[in-house]
């Protein structure tokens, strides 16, 4: 309970002011496509040179939590996920916004973000020593199976057909091989200079989600039926809260998945939202409502990606190993003040450590308040005429993909993938499984290569990959997940209605 003693420090005028700046700035940065949490935090590091250690960390902590949540804004309103963490939010969130329920979607997303986020930070406060052991338990073989588990999710994620879902997943896995491979340095499919570093995930996200939309908006032209003015429904915050309480299952699954996945170094928050979304869908009685603007989808995804924030810092704060790119940037923020994470941090600088953690806790609340305040205004974006909207989204897409690493190459990649996705969508393929393939491919590949190198030097492949409690557990989950997808596909084929056959 040591952390309570340091709550006062958060509320000194300077600290609280920085917390406000970090939170509001973080929301804006997060809502800008292309500015991922990692980049937002990295941009702020030079400012912390001038600040004291505690103050610097308050700024960084607040920015980290609120950029993750801010990404939901562009995901819901523009269908551009600001970071991989927000991919799952687009699936139901954007559909809700198109139905005029943008206010509700934003309110739900901020509320579930805050609750998930507080849960995650609480885990960080109370269970850090236990969780640290967990984080180390995942070696290459386990991460490989975990990635395979993610691949099995692909089939059932946001597609009408399992086969098409798996096919888009395969396209994603293939795209992931482009570039110099990270372990051997071999060159694969580099036909253009822009591809040397592989497909940048943020540029790909923007292209795959935003461009097909822009093209369809332009395709409608100035036809009158495309220009009908959408009624943006008002939605009170109290109602949003009640709505949230109606779906405790989505909330629970989101928080649990987010915190477990956030803990594992190297996998991080990229897939937390997607896995939580998929699990909630499988356990929900309203499976068929998902993807059509179902609140549960938004709640699960946002609860998960904010619950991941706290646990993702466990390996950094206890073992001094940054588990995610953002944690690596935070490590820099600590080192600049001569503070080494690990036992040194909690023993010799408890004021810094606990004030930092507390500021994330209070940052969640502030973020939620501001988010709810702007939700009503922001939802009006849906009323902007489509021809105008298309131009704005296109502009943001180019800006966002360029700003990732100041490279025109990323813009070309974004455009090419976007045009490809436009045609794929017309044939019933969907972007989410493709992106999941793109994210999981490198994780599976590098861990397999690393694992097999270790295995060949020690016990051999079979014992390394197939024995041990955690391996067997993960393999069983993979098998169950594949079987479930197969069963769903068979069942849905049996019940195909005439209406669907027409499509």
Partner 1 sequence: MKKLLAGAALAVMTLTGGAVLAEESYPERPLMLMVSYGAGGATDFQARIVTMTSGNEDALGMPIAILNKPGAGGRVGWNWLADQADADGYTLGAYNVPHFIAQSIKGGVSYGVDSFEPIANWGADPAVLVVGADSEFNTLQDVVDFATANPGKLTTSGAGLFVGHHIAALQMEKAGDFKMAYIPTKGGGAAAMKAVIAGEVLAGINNLSDAFRAREAGNVKILAVADLERNEFLPDVPTMKEAGLDVDNASVNFRGIMVPKGTPQPIIDKLAATVPTMFENGRVQGKMKAGGSPMHIMTREEVLAMWQKRQETLSELLAGL
Residues that bind partner 1 (CB under 8 A): 38-39, 41-43, 45-46, 49, 136-137, 139-140, 179-180, 182-185, 187, 193, 196-198, 200, 265-266, 315, 319-322, 325-326, 328-332, 335-338, 340-344, 405-407, 442, 446, 450, 453-454, 456-458
- Which residue number, 71 or 341, has a Cβ lying nearer to partner 1? 341
Handedness of CA 442, 448, 454, 456 (dihedral sign): negative
Residue with tokens 């806790």: 361
Closest C-alpha to 88, from 410, 382, 303, 401 = 303
* In the complex, minimum distance from the CB of residue 81 to partner 1, in angstroms, rounded to a whole number: 20
* In the complex, minimum distance from the CB of residue 433 to partner 1, in angstroms, rounded to a whole number: 23
Burial class (CB in 10 A: 0-12, 13-18, 19+), 160: middle
- Which residue number, 10 or 413, has a Cβ lying nearer to partner 1? 413
- Which residue number, 35 or 88, has a Cβ lying nearer to partner 1? 35
- Which residue number, 38 or 66, has a Cβ lying nearer to partner 1? 38
CA angle 480, 91, 65 (to 5 degrees): 95
* In the complex, minimum distance from the CB of residue 320 to partner 1, in angstroms, rounded to a whole number: 5
* In the complex, minimum distance from the CB of residue 427 to partner 1, in angstroms, rounded to a whole number: 32
* In the complex, minimum distance from the CB of residue 408 to partner 1, in angstroms, rounded to a whole number: 10
- d(CA 322, CA 314) in angstroms, rounded, equals 9
Q: Which residues pair with 179 in a beta bridge?
A: 188
- Which residue number, 236 or 405, has a Cβ lying nearer to partner 1? 405
* In the complex, minimum distance from the CB of residue 51 to partner 1, in angstroms, rounded to a whole number: 13
Burial 390-410 (b: 16+ CB within 10 A, else e): beebbebbbebbbbbeebebb
- Which residue number, 200 or 257, has a Cβ lying nearer to partner 1? 200
- Which residue number, 60 or 114, has a Cβ lying nearer to partner 1? 60
Output DSSP code: residue 167. H
- d(CA 55, CA 384) in angstroms, rounded, equals 40
Phi-psi region of 381 (alpha: psi -120 to 50; beta: other; left: phi over 0): alpha
* In the complex, minimum distance from the CB of residue 110 to partner 1, in angstroms, rounded to a whole number: 27
- Which residue number, 204 or 255, has a Cβ lying nearer to partner 1? 204
- d(CA 121, CA 308) in angstroms, rounded, equals 9
Task: Count CB atoms within 10 A of the CB of residue 100.
Answer: 17
Residue with tokens 């009170």: 236
Burial class (CB in 10 A: 0-12, 13-18, 19+), 115: buried
* In the complex, minimum distance from the CB of residue 325 to partner 1, in angstroms, rounded to a whole number: 7
CA angle 38, 44, 46 (to 5 degrees): 120
- Which residue number, 151 or 303, has a Cβ lying nearer to partner 1? 151
Output DSSP code: residue 34. T
* In the complex, minimum distance from the CB of residue 322 to partner 1, in angstroms, rounded to a whole number: 5
Residue with tokens 């956030």: 262
């Amino acid at each position: 309970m040591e952390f309570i003693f340091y709550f006062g420090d958060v509320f000194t005028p300077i600290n609280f002011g920085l917390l406000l700046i970090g939170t509001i700035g973080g929301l804006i940065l997060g809502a800008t496509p292309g500015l991922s949490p990692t980049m937002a935090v990295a941009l702020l590091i030079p400012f912390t040179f001038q600040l004291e250690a505690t103050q610097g960390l308050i700024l960084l902590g607040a920015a980290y939590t609120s950029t993750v949540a801010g990404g939901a804004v562009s995901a819901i309103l523009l269908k551009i996920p600001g970071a991989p963490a927000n991919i799952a939010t687009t699936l139901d969130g954007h559909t809700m916004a198109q139905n005029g329920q943008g206010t509700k979607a934003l309110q739900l997303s901020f509320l579930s973000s805050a609750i998930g986020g507080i849960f995650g930070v609480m885990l960080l406060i109370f269970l850090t020593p236990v969780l640290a052991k967990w984080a180390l338990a995942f070696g290459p073989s386990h991460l490989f199976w975990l990635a395979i588990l993610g691949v099995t999710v692909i089939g059932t994620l946001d597609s009408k057909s399992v086969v098409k879902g798996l096919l888009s997943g395969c396209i994603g896995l293939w795209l992931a091989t482009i570039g110099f491979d990270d372990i051997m340095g071999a060159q694969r499919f580099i036909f253009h200079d822009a591809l040397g570093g592989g497909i940048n995930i943020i540029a790909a996200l923007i292209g795959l989600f935003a461009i097909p939309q822009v093209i369809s908006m332009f395709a409608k032209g100035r036809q009158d039926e495309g220009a009908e003015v959408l009624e943006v429904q008002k939605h009170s915050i109290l109602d949003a809260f009640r709505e949230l309480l109606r779906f405790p299952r989505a909330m629970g699954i989101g928080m649990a998945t987010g915190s477990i996945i956030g803990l594992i170094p190297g996998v991080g928050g990229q897939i937390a939202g997607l896995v939580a979304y998929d699990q909630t869908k499988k356990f929900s009685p309203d499976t068929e409502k998902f993807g059509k603007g179902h609140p549960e989808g938004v709640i699960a995804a946002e609860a998960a990606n904010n619950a991941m924030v706290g646990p993702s810092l466990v390996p950094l704060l206890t073992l001094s190993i940054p588990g995610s790119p953002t944690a690596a940037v935070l490590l820099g923020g600590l080192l600049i003040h001569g503070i080494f994470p690990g036992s040194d941090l909690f023993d010799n600088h408890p004021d810094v450590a606990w004030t930092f953690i507390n500021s994330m806790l209070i940052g969640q609340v502030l973020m939620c308040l501001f988010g709810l305040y702007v939700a009503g205004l922001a939802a009006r974006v849906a009323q902007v005429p489509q021809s105008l909207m298309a131009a704005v989204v296109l502009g943001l897409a180019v800006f966002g993909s360029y700003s990732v690493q100041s490279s025109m190459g990323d813009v070309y990649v974004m455009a090419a993938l976007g045009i490809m996705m436009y045609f794929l969508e017309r044939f019933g393929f969907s972007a989410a499984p493709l992106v999941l393939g793109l994210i999981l491919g490198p994780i599976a590949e590098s861990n397999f290569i690393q694992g097999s190198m270790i295995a060949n030097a020690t016990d051999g492949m079979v014992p390394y990959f197939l024995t041990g409690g955690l391996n067997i557990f993960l393999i069983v989950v993979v098998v169950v997940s594949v079987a479930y997808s197969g069963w769903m596909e068979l069942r849905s084929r049996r019940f195909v209605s005439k209406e669907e056959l027409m499509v």
